[in-house]
Amino acid sequence: MEPLSPSEPGTANVLEVLQPLIRCESLAKRYEVGGGTVHALRELSLSVMPGEFVAVMGPSGSGKSTFMNLVGCLDQPTSGRYWLAGEPVDSMNRDQLAAIRNRRIGFVFQQFNLLPRTTAQDNVELPLLYAGVPRAERHARALRRLQQVGLGERLDHHPAQLSGGQQQRVAIARALVNDPQLILADEPTGALDSRTSIEVMALLQALNREGITIVLVTHEADVAAFASRIISFKDGRVVRDAANDPLDAAAALAALEPAEG
């Protein structure tokens, strides 16, 4: 079979699928602290393909959060190379990093990071407001994402009127509203009870089945068990990178006793 020429119809989409979404080569991050050097990340080389669901694990200080910040274009490496969907991120300036974050990445955090005096609808619309999307389109896209995460009836609720799980669903809808290729989830179940954690993992698995790449940082093995690949960090290095037969979160949820109330 002849290789695709870049001028052939559909070539760009095919090449985008074939190349890694995340590609790191000898990536390092060092900090100067108290006259010494802290090696937060040491010569990291790895790739994540489109459509993967990856859990990143490790103790505090292992480098997993530094890795997440670099992959999320929130920080730049001291040395090494990083490409996101083929774009050389390590050489970008601050404005370029913000632009690629907005185009390709959605973020989900442990503490939700919702504006407390703002409705669910307006919280989800916020990234579109920053992007200059017209009001009617912002409203329609936010509504669609809130309906997707099961909160179509909670549009006018403020965070204080929502449970922790519902707040995290709003945060996930906000992460999705710009149609990202990649969701970076930093301890997304850390503030949730066991049942709600499984509900959130079921939602992330459903999004992954739609083709969205998920990279999730967690220190909980029972949360990592829902991913199809687990990468373990220690002292700024990858010490284990292995495929995993993921648990089905929807099935795990169905097997639980009915929720009280």
pTM of the model: 0.88
pLDDT of 10 strictly over 70: no
**Alpha-carbon separation of residue 198 from 188, 205, 252 (angstroms):** 11, 10, 7
Strand partners, 87: 84
* pLDDT for position 29: 95
pLDDT band at 68 (very low <50, low <70, confident <90, very high): very high
Nearest to 171 by CA among 188, 195, 196, 147: 188
Instruction: Out of 7-16, 32-41, 53-62, give the one with best mean pLDDT.
Output: 53-62
Mean of per-residue pLDDT scores for the chain: 90
pLDDT in tens, 134-179: 999 999 999 999 999 999 999 999 999 999 999 999 999 999 999 9
pLDDT of 3 strictly over 50: no
How far apart, in Å, do the first and last CA atoms of the chain sit?
A: 60
**Average pLDDT of the segment spanning 84-112:** 91
pLDDT of 5 strictly over 50: no
10-17, long-range: CB < 8 A, 24+ apart: 16/50, 16/85, 16/86, 17/50
Residue with tokens 């099961």: 150
- Specify burial of residue 176 (Cβ count, 10 A radius: 0-12, 13-18, 19+): buried
Q: With H, G, I as helix, E, B as strand and everything else as coil, classify residue 27.
A: strand
CA–CA separation, 187 and 164 (whole Å): 14
Half-sphere exposure of 257 (CA within 13 A, CB side): 3
pLDDT band at 250 (very low <50, low <70, confident <90, very high): very high
CA–CA separation, 67 and 140 (whole Å): 34
CA–CA separation, 232 and 197 (whole Å): 21
* pLDDT for position 141: 95
pLDDT of 55 strictly over 90: yes
pLDDT band at 257 (very low <50, low <70, confident <90, very high): confident
pLDDT of 15 strictly over 60: no
pLDDT in tens, 105-141: 999 988 889 999 999 999 999 999 888 899 999 999 9
**Average pLDDT of the segment spanning 3-21:** 55
* pLDDT for position 17: 56
Domains of the chain: 49-80+93-254 (3.40.50.300)
DSSP assignment of 89-138: GGG--HHHHHHHHHHHEEEEETT----TTS-HHHHHHHHHHHTT--HHHH
Half-sphere exposure of 110 (CA within 13 A, CB side): 9
* pLDDT for position 35: 81
